[in-house]
């Protein structure tokens, strides 16, 4: 039974698959290239399975981060997934805004499902929480099993596998959820820009001018001084919002929001020692002092900044190339109101696009699950083009009429578009990209939208310099939240105090010198040694 609290869906659909039907329907390949909601039953990826054996569908209990619009009960997309993959899915999906909190409660409960999604502050799911749960014996090590699943091995690159190995024991406790490469930049209210007769900013000075105009010139035309330039939001309370995908602004200071990038002097160091760290915080202080930034930018939960953008309260938020069209689900006029742009240029005129291995969290299997191999088989199928298309596009005749995989053009009626938003989304996908690409461009249902997406992405890429960032496998730097939690919190709090003017720059620097640098010296040394060992 589905409750409002847990939104648990228990869809019980079983299908007997005859060997003759398999022979007639299957392409004979491990990975299907079907791009529409196929009814072909996939071949089992388990070794030694007799093709003539009729296998009863296995029940898989899943804990996943799914957007609130999705209705899991009596969902035809899930029903099709169950039919093709020969499973029964019981999905518990807490709201995105407090998913991390609910996940912590779940992991402490001792009553775990068969597969659990972990987003993770590292972006790949292999964060300090995963490390803690692995050390506590809650997670199944998967190294001896994953080689048996060809689609996992094909779609997940060696760099991705290396990126998620435990920094403590080198084992694999999470299956990466592949994603398209996101080029983070920003999304801006183009109508506001036109109103104040400015262009999308490419430098810090240009951004400052836009911020002043968006705040002072009544860009929404309501006669009130109630708009702000930009805002941020954070996925959880474990780190400050100013480090969550804020690349578009930190790039102006040559300050990466991820580890694994050299400072301006060509050396590796912790972020708090990098040359752009204090200037970035100082700029945020300026925006806050002059009331140019959303006054709640330090406490917004995830996606609250997007809500404020759609409410005409702020004009800029961080975004990647799919955000403008993705936002159509929340604002039908999004593609007409907003535009996507790349990161700002630094003082040397370089707009650094820091690109990490393309993952969007990952899937953990609890150690006490009795269905480890069945879950891996399901995720193996989930890493095929067939599964990706089904989860992203839905079911033909229900959520779309036609689809061209070559151009990604898709035809939908308004009714089908509405249905799609309640039946599936990218949050539902076991893998969000196959060979680096998704089956579709979200909400690109017209030629005009496809061209808009491509033109804005091409313009952004033309401005930016891509910097490929390796996975950082330095246990101490990755575990600061658990090894020095009090000092971490004090550092985060002091960042906020400095930005809001509660402490001076001198006081903040004194804290860094006397407490933060000594407290992280061993972690920094290990990190620098590791990065230098890569020879980059």
| Strand, coil or helix: 164 | helix
Question: pLDDT tens track of the chain, all 536 residues?
Answer: 344 334 433 333 333 332 333 333 333 333 333 333 333 333 334 443 444 467 899 999 999 999 999 999 999 999 999 999 999 999 999 988 889 889 999 999 989 999 999 987 656 788 888 999 999 999 999 999 999 999 999 999 999 999 999 988 999 999 999 999 999 999 999 999 999 999 999 999 999 999 999 999 999 999 999 999 999 998 654 568 999 889 999 999 999 999 999 999 999 999 999 999 999 999 999 999 999 999 999 999 888 999 999 999 999 999 999 999 999 989 999 999 999 999 999 999 999 999 999 999 999 999 989 999 999 999 999 999 999 999 999 999 999 999 999 889 999 998 998 999 999 999 999 999 999 999 999 888 889 999 999 999 999 999 999 999 988 888 888 888 889 999 999 999 999 999 999 999 999 999 999 999 999 999 999 999 999 999 87
Measured N-to-C along each axis, helices 385-393 and 76-85 cross at an angle, to the nearest 10 degrees, of: 170
Buried b (16+ CB within 10 A) or exposed e, 151-166: bbeebbbeebbebbbb
Regarding whether 331 and 377 lie in a shared domain, the answer is: no
Regarding whether 347 and 231 lie in a shared domain, the answer is: yes
Regarding whether 336 and 192 lie in a shared domain, the answer is: yes
Q: CA-CA distance, 508 to 297, in Å (whole number)? A: 20
Q: CA-CA distance, 83 to 70, in Å (whole number)? A: 20
The answer as to whether 4 is a domain residue is: no
Residues 323, 454, 449, 314, CA torsion sign: positive
Regarding whether 235 and 336 lie in a shared domain, the answer is: yes
Q: What letter would DSSP give residue 139?
A: B
Q: CA-CA distance, 193 to 237, in Å (whole number)? A: 33
Regarding whether 362 and 333 lie in a shared domain, the answer is: no
Q: Are 440 and 388 in contact (CB under 8 A)?
A: no
Regarding whether 131 and 22 lie in a shared domain, the answer is: yes
Regarding whether 403 and 261 lie in a shared domain, the answer is: no
The answer as to whether 3 is a domain residue is: no
Largest CA distance in the chain: 77
Q: CA-CA distance, 156 to 175, in Å (whole number)? A: 9
By residue range, what is the domain housing residue 47?
Answer: 9-180+358-428
| Strand, coil or helix: 437 | strand
- DSSP lists the bridge partners of residue 375 as none
Regarding whether 203 and 346 lie in a shared domain, the answer is: yes
Regarding whether 365 and 343 lie in a shared domain, the answer is: no
Regarding whether 189 and 175 lie in a shared domain, the answer is: no
The dihedrals phi and psi of 228, each to the nearest 5 degrees, come to -130, 160
Nearby residues of 496 by Cβ (< 8 Å), 6 or more positions away:
240, 298, 502
CATH of the domain at 120: 3.40.190.10
Q: What letter would DSSP give residue 394?
A: -
Regarding whether 323 and 378 lie in a shared domain, the answer is: no
The answer as to whether 196 is a domain residue is: yes
Q: CA-CA distance, 407 to 157, in Å (whole number)? A: 25
Q: CA-CA distance, 187 to 321, in Å (whole number)? A: 9
Q: CA-CA distance, 357 to 513, in Å (whole number)? A: 33
**Rg (the chain; Cα; Å):** 24
The answer as to whether 434 is a domain residue is: no
Q: CA-CA distance, 354 to 247, in Å (whole number)? A: 8
- For residue 121, the model assigns a pLDDT of 62
Q: CA-CA distance, 200 to 207, in Å (whole number)? A: 8
The answer as to whether 436 is a domain residue is: no
Q: Are 43 and 30 in contact (CB under 8 A)?
A: yes
Q: CA-CA distance, 482 to 280, in Å (whole number)? A: 26
Q: CA-CA distance, 65 to 489, in Å (whole number)? A: 26
| Strand, coil or helix: 127 | coil
H helix intervals, 383-484? 385-393, 414-423, 447-463, 475-478, 480-483
The answer as to whether 433 is a domain residue is: no
- Which pLDDT tens digit goes with each residue over 279-333? 999 999 999 999 999 999 999 988 899 999 999 999 999 999 999 999 998 999 9
| Strand, coil or helix: 265 | coil
| Strand, coil or helix: 75 | coil
- Which pLDDT tens digit goes with each residue over 435-448? 999 999 988 888 99
Looking at the structure of the chain, the number of domains it has is 3
How many CA atoms does the CB half-sphere of 292 hold within 13 Å?
A: 18
The answer as to whether 398 is a domain residue is: yes
Regarding whether 449 and 396 lie in a shared domain, the answer is: no
Nearby residues of 222 by Cβ (< 8 Å), 6 or more positions away:
312
Tell me the C-alpha to C-alpha distance, in Å, between residue 43 and each of 86, 145, 198, 436, 494: 10, 18, 56, 23, 56
The answer as to whether 283 is a domain residue is: yes
Q: CA-CA distance, 536 to 523, in Å (whole number)? A: 20
């Amino acid at each position: 039974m589905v409750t409002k609290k847990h939104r648990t869906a228990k869809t019980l659909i079983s299908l007997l698959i005859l060997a003759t039907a398999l022979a007639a329907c299957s392409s004979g390949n491990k990975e299907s290239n079907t791009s529409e909601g196929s009814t072909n039953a996939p071949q089992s990826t388990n070794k030694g399975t007799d093709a003539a054996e009729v296998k009863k569908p296995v029940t898989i209990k899943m804990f996943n981060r799914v957007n609130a619009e999705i209705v899991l009960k009596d969902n035809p997309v899930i029903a099709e997934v169950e039919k093709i993959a020969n499973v029964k899915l019981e999905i518990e999906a807490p709201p995105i805004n407090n998913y991390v909190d609910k996940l912590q409660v779940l992991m402490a409960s001792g009553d775990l499902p068969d597969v659990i999604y972990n987003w993770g502050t590292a972006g790949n799911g292999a964060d300090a929480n995963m490390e803690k749960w692995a050390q506590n014996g809650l997670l199944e090590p998967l190294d001896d099993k994953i080689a048996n699943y060809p689609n996992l091995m094909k779609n997940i690159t060696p760099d991705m596998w290396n990126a998620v190995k435990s920094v403590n024991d080198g084992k694999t406790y999470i299956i990466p959820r592949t994603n398209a490469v996101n080029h983070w930049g920003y999304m801006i209210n183009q109508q506001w820009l036109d109103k104040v007769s400015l262009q999308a900013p490419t430098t810090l000075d240009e951004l400052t001018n836009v911020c002043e105009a968006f705040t002072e010139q009544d860009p929404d035309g309501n006669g009130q001084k109630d708009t702000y330039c930009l805002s941020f939001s954070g996925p959880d309370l474990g780190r400050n919002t100013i480090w969550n995908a804020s690349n578009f602004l930190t790039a102006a200071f040559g300050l990466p929001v991820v580890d694994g990038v050299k400072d301006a002097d060509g050396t590796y160091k912790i972020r708090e020692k990098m040359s752009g760290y204090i200037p970035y915080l100082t700029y945020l202080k300026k925006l806050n002092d002059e009331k140019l930034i959303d006054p709640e930018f330090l406490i917004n939960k995830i996606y609250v900044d997007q809500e404020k953008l759609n409410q005409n309260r702020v004009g800029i938020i961080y975004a990647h190339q799919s955000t403008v069209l993705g936002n159509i689900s929340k604002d039908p006029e999004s593609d007409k109101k907003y535009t996507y742009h790349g990161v700002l240029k630094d003082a040397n005129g370089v707009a650094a696009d820091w690109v990490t291995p393309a993952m969007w969290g990952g899937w953990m299997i609890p150690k006490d699950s009795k269905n480890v191999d069945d879950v891996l088989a399901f995720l193996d199928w989930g890493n095929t083009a067939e599964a990706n298309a089904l989860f992203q596009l839905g079911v033909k005749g229900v959520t779309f009429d036609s689809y061209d995989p070559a151009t990604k053009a898709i035809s939908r009626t308004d009714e089908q578009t509405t249905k799609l938003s309640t039946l599936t989304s990218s949050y539902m996908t076991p893998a969000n990209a196959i060979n680096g690409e998704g089956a579709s461009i979200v909400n690109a249902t017209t030629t005009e939208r496809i061209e808009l997406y491509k033109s804005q992405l091409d313009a952004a890429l033309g401005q930016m310099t891509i910097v490929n960032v390796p996975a950082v496998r330095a246990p101490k730097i990755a575990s600061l939240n658990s090894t020095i939690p009090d000092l971490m919190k004090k550092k985060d709090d002091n960042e906020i105090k400095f930005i809001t003017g509660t402490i001076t720059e001198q006081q903040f620097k004194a804290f860094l010198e006397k407490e933060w640098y000594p407290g992280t010296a061993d972690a920094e040394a290990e990190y620098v040694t590791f990065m230098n060992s890569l020879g980059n």
